[in-house]
Amino acid sequence: MVRLIAALGFCLLALGASPEAYAAKRVAFVVGIDAYDNLPDQQQLKKAVNDAQAIGEALVGPGYDVQKADNVGRLDFLRQWQLFLNRLEPGDEVAVFLADRGGDRRAELPLAARRASH
């Protein structure tokens, strides 16, 4: 849970510091990935989607419009990420949360989505 709180705090960004920014919309992109096509059953995650659900619910309270993506394939992830980016305007308050296997965070966010099996 500490990891979730730390990740949420780290991922909250303001896309503008002007007074108008406080009147802008609050939007969040929350992703949970338990299922990986390239991993055996014993290495599949069990709680990433639940963690993302909890963070998404927590963000609704302070007024975020939460866009969720659970167990999405790479292409669907990229589509949803682009739809999210298209919604953003200067001054919006943005939160992004990704619950997955972790690993090298130097990679871009869209690369974290699992590959579709087809």
Per-domain boundaries in the chain: 2-112
The answer to whether the Cα torsion of 9, 70, 74, 43 is positive or negative is: positive
**How far is the C-alpha of 73 from the C-alpha of 14, rounded, in Å?**
28
Do the Cβ atoms of 69 and 31 come closer than 8 Å? yes
Q: Which of 42-46, 54-58, 67-71, 106-110 has the lowest mean pLDDT?
A: 106-110
C-beta atoms surrounding 98 within 10 Å:
22
2-112 maps to which CATH number?
Answer: 3.40.50
Q: What one-letter code names the amino acid at 87? A: R
C-beta atoms surrounding 26 within 10 Å:
16
Highest mean pLDDT among 5-9, 45-49, 112-116: 45-49
Q: Which of 21-25, 75-79, 99-103 has the lowest mean pLDDT?
A: 21-25
pLDDT at 18 (0 to 100)? 42
pTM (global) more than 0.75: no
